[in-house]
Each structure stands twice: as C-alpha cells, then as structure tokens.
Structure 1
Amino acid sequence: MIFSSFGNAPAEMSFIRMAHAIDEFAKESEEDVFVQVGNTRYEFKYARIVKFLEHEEMVDAMRRASIVVLQGGWGTISEAIFLKKRIVAIPRRVGQECHHPQEEVVRYLEKLGCLIGCYNTAELPNLIEKARRIEFKTLSRGNAAQYINPFLDNIK
C-alpha cells in the first residue's frame, strides 16, 4: 500500500496539485493507494480516501505502507522518519497552499538523506519508484532536534 497524508491545512489552502498527482498515480498503480485528504477539496476518482484519521490510525497506516507520500510539514514527516519509512514529500507553496516554508524543510531533509523531495508533481510516479530502490537515513526519537532546530532557526 501507498499511504498519503495532506496534513490539516484549512480548506482555502487545498493542496490540489498533490491531490491530482496522487489520484493519477492511483489510476495507474496496481498497489492500493490510501489517502488522508484532510481539508483538501478535490474529487478523488481512483485513490481510497478518508478525511481524517486519529493519530494512532495514521501511524498504523504508515507502518503498513511500502511508501508514504506526504505534504512537506515536519509533523507527519518526522513520524514517518521515526518509523523508518520510504518517504516522498511534496512541499506546499507558501502563500498559495500554506503560510510557512515547507520547501526549505523538504530540501534540508532530502540533503540529510531522510526523504525524496518532489518539486514537480509530474515526476511523482518516477520518484515513488526511486524510493523503492534507495536506502533512507533515519533519525531516532530524541536526536531529531539536533538536526532540525538549527535549520529552523536559520529560516526565521
């Protein structure tokens, strides 16, 4: 299964780019694609969706997934890193899809080897296949702050 999560941004910041890319991937995939859509307003045709999951349900879905495709927020990405998942992250665009800099976070974590960043959603299928073949660096609970806090301090 591929699991995807859109976070909990307000509906006026719907992540249509990601929704369309995931749904198109689901159309062609033989693998089940399960999506927590949050407040994103998009009519999915091919992916199996749920609006929101309880935290433990989301963690369970990530555990069962072969790949996770996530929006670029630190919260869900950090959970996936701690679970040692193969991650493709699509950052939201500041001002259109979020109020904070997701692309910088994704690029930083990609540089550390923790995930693959998807900056052009047309590339999503190829990046999911790439994620199947490479090893990702993990961060353990308790030491992630030493990596992320200095980065966050620099972007304020």
Structure 2
Amino acid sequence: MGKKIFITLGSQKFQFNRLLKAVDELCENHTVAAEDVFAQIGYSDYLPKNYKFKKFLDRDEFSAEMDKAEIVITHGGTGAIIGAVKKCKKVIAVPRRAKYGEHVDDHQLQLIKQFDELNLICSCRDMKKLGKALEIVQQTKYNNYKSNTFNIINSIENYIKEI
C-alpha cells in the first residue's frame, strides 16, 4: 500500500479491541504494510502484534503522527474526526458499539452517518469491510472541512449587542 496510516482511538475509558484486531489481520494478510501503521490505542487491552503502537500520546507526539499520516482510522468521536479532516487527512471512521462494550450507546453511528453525508469521511460500519474502506478512501475525493466557529461567534456577539 505505501500510505502512512495513523489509528487514533481517543482518550475515553473504553476499549476498541475489534478495530485493532481488524488492522492486525489486514497486516497479516498483507493488505496493509505493517511498517506504515502506527496506533494510539488508549484504553484498549488488545496489544497489536503486527504494527507499532502506544497507549497514549502527548500533544506533540499526537500531532507528529497525524502529520505523517495520509490516512487516519478513528472511532466515531467528533473531536477525532474533525481534528483529522481539518488537517486534510483521508479519514475512515468506525463506530464504537455498545453491544461490544466499546461505549455506553450507539451515538457514533449517527455521528459518522452525518460526516459521511457531508462527504468528509469514509464510514466503515462493518469491521470485515475495513480493507475495502481503505481502497475506497484512497480513490475518493472528499469535501474540505469548513468550520462554523466564525458564524457561531458572530451570532453570539450580535445577540449580546442586542441585549
């Protein structure tokens, strides 16, 4: 493949072993070059066998890994997705699921769906299709992320002026 991949699973106290195992399998069957993968695994207790990882990264380490990557594979957290698309990374977002003990509910399904509908990311709801998602993300042109922060701040300032 030759594309640098950064996996980030956030800092909440939930494991995401399914995703780490799926990437290990992709490395084992040579769909992904193990030397191109680095993961920040957070609270997961599965330790990847085929690629480098660290439980947690400090801000500088995280930024360096994100900068090196062409593709970011992440959970369905808003902050993780927005952080990657702001840096113009190709993003594959995989939702954590409550039934696997990865989160308290399935809200990440809806978040990922919205980002997908905006053509900002590649969603992957089925772990067996992660290899296919890697093919798709490389061939797809995604929209650039446009922050709404300026509009929100403007609205608040205008409201305050009217008080």
**If the length of structure 2 is used for normalisation, what is the TM-score?**
0.81
- SS of the counterpart of 1:34? strand
Residue 114 of structure 1 is matched in structure 2 by 120
- SS of the counterpart of 1:44? coil
Aligned length: 144
Question: Could you give the per-residue CA deviations for residues 11-68 of structure 1, whole angstroms, max 9, x where no partner exists?
Answer: xx31121111121123322251100001101031101101111123212211211211
Residue 135 of structure 1 is matched in structure 2 by 141
Deviation at 1:140, TM superposition (A): 3.1
Deviation at 1:9, TM superposition (A): 2.4
Percent of aligned pairs with the same amino acid: 28
Query: Structure 2: 5+ residue runs without aligned partners?
Result: 153-163
**C-alpha distance in structure 1 between counterparts of 2:55 and 2:104, whole Å:** 21
**C-alpha distance in structure 2 between counterparts of 1:124 and 1:52, whole Å:** 23
Match of 2:70 among 53, 66, 70: 66
Residue 151 of structure 1 is matched in structure 2 by none
Question: Could you give the per-residue CA deviations for residues 62-93 of structure 1, whole angstroms, max 9, x where no partner exists?
Answer: 12112110011011111001001100000001
Change (3 A) 1:40 1:23: same
Match of 1:99 among 101, 104, 111: 104
RMSD: 1.9
Residue 155 of structure 2 is matched in structure 1 by none
Q: Is residue 8 of structure 1 aligned with residue 11 of structure 2?
A: yes
Kept in 2, the 8 Å contact 1:80–1:87? The answer is yes
Change (3 A) 1:129 1:137: same
**C-alpha distance in structure 2 between counterparts of 1:102 and 1:111, whole Å:** 14
- SS of the counterpart of 1:63? helix
Q: Is residue 55 of structure 1 aligned with residue 59 of structure 2?
A: yes
Question: Could you give the per-residue CA deviations for residues 110-147 of structure 1, whole angstroms, max 9, x where no partner exists?
Answer: 0100001111111101111110111111213445987x
Residue 82 of structure 2 is matched in structure 1 by 78
Residue 46 of structure 1 is matched in structure 2 by 50
**If the length of structure 1 is used for normalisation, what is the TM-score?**
0.84
**C-alpha distance in structure 2 between counterparts of 1:70 and 1:118, whole Å:** 10
